Amino acid sequence: MQNQSEIITTAGAEMAKIIYGTAWKKERTAELVIQAVKVGFRGIDTACQPKHYAEPLVGAALMALKSSGIKREELFIQTKFTPLSGQDQNTVPYDKNASLPMQVAQSFETSKTNLNTKYIDSFLLHSPLSPFSDLLSVWRAMETIHKRGEALRLGISNCYDLEVLQHLYNEADIKPSIVQNRFYRDSGYDATLREWCATHNIVYQSFWSLTANPHILESKELIALAMKYRKCEAQIFFAYLISQGIVPLSGTTSLEHMLQDLEATSLTLTPDEISGISSLLLSDKL
Ligand SMILES: NC(=O)c1ccc[n+]([C@@H]2O[C@H](COP(=O)([O-])OP(=O)(O)OC[C@H]3O[C@@H](n4cnc5c(N)ncnc54)[C@H](OP(=O)(O)O)[C@@H]3O)[C@@H](O)[C@H]2O)c1
């Protein structure tokens, strides 16, 4: 098992350097979460969104891990409130006719029950709502939960519009401290947004880091670095992301890849190698 050096402190937040993602695992969710934590993952990402996540099975895994001596406090558990538009209308985990603040409150209670926990380390809004007044009304409900001490950090996902993030930041009583976004070329890899996050103590988490970037993973530069360090290209890319202050998610279902992804957290690239990969991201030649 890896030790606590897996945990970094950013913006006063303790967070694993890489987070295990539980989407699309279905009935294998519990088994895979147990395996991921046993081999060293300390961050777990889920959502109260039955369409894509089996949150109760994440909770079952946490119970099993507790029985084998891994305490709740050792883990960074993140879940999300998913607005109605992101839910399968047949499995909405709250009263869809309730007000937005009530939907948030019900979703959060369901998550706590599903996860067998009294508190959540990070509670994210799964995607921005429009108009902004709806977003703010959801955020206020999230703030109420935070102020009760039940959600230690608040954040937002799928927020690619910096103006929306800035508007939220300015209006928020409890500022967002996490942004979780797809890391892909179409958004320019959120370069401007990430820069702004870094100056506002917001941790940027990436998903689709591997799946959206085969052109990077297959580039001659990544292949050469993989050979140099005797690692795979995925590890080089994860190490690069971590060097940028990004906390990547990995949703691997393979033990070998779990070990590789964890090992990437202790791989240090040289400044030249890092800037070489940064240039690759900006290049439109690949
Ligand atoms: N907020 C959102 O809207 C949102 C959206 C999507 C995802 N997420 C979160 O992000 C998590 C991760 O999702 P993701 O979309 O980034 O993709 P992912 O589920 O991590 O899939 C990445 C792919 O990379 C492979 N992989 C992982 N490690 C590898 C390695 N070392 N070498 C080679 N291949 C490797 C996996 O295959 P193997 O299984 O064979 O290893 C998988 O096919 C999700 O589980 C979820 O928690 C959030």
Q: What is the pLDDT of residues 205-262, one digit of tens each?
A: 999 999 999 999 999 999 999 999 999 999 999 999 999 999 999 999 999 999 999 9
As a whole number, mean pLDDT of residues 91-109 equals 98
Q: How confident is the model at residue 284 (pLDDT cuts 50, 70, 90)?
A: low
Q: What is the DSSP letter of 76?
A: E
Q: Specify the ligand 1 atom closest to the Cα of 22.
A: 45
As a whole number, mean pLDDT of residues 26-32 equals 98
Q: How confident is the model at residue 11 (pLDDT cuts 50, 70, 90)?
A: very low
- Distance in Å, CA 208 to ligand 1 centroid: 6
CB 124 within 8 A of CB 79: yes
Rounded Cα–Cα distance for residues 48 and 27 (Å): 16
> Locate tokens 């950013």: which residue?
10
How many other C-beta atoms lie within 10 A of the C-beta of residue 129?
A: 19
pLDDT computed for residue 14 by the predictor? 72
Residue closest by Cα to atom 30 of ligand 1? 257
Long-range contact list for 211-217, CB < 8 A, 24+ apart? 212/182, 212/183, 212/184, 212/185, 213/183, 213/184, 213/185, 213/237, 215/185, 215/286, 216/277, 216/280, 216/281, 216/286
Query: Which alpha helices (H) appear in the chain, and where do they start and end?
Result: 29-39, 55-67, 100-115, 132-147, 162-171, 191-198, 214-217, 220-229, 233-243, 255-263, 271-282
Res. 10: pLDDT tops 80 = no
- Spell out the domains of the chain, with CATH numbers in brackets: 4-212+246-253 (3.20.20.100)
Identify the bridge partners of residue 157 per DSSP, sorted by sequence position. Answer: 180
Identify the bridge partners of residue 7 per DSSP, sorted by sequence position. Answer: 16
CB 168 within 8 A of CB 136: yes
Mean predicted lDDT score pLDDT of the chain: 94
Res. 4: pLDDT tops 50 = no
Q: Is the pTM of this model over 0.85?
A: yes
23 lines ligand 1 (CB under 6 A): yes
Q: Specify the ligand 1 atom closest to the Cα of 235.
A: 31
- Distance in Å, CA 209 to ligand 1 centroid: 7
As a whole number, mean pLDDT of residues 93-112 equals 98
- Distance in Å, CA 24 to ligand 1 centroid: 10
Residue closest by Cα to atom 42 of ligand 1? 252
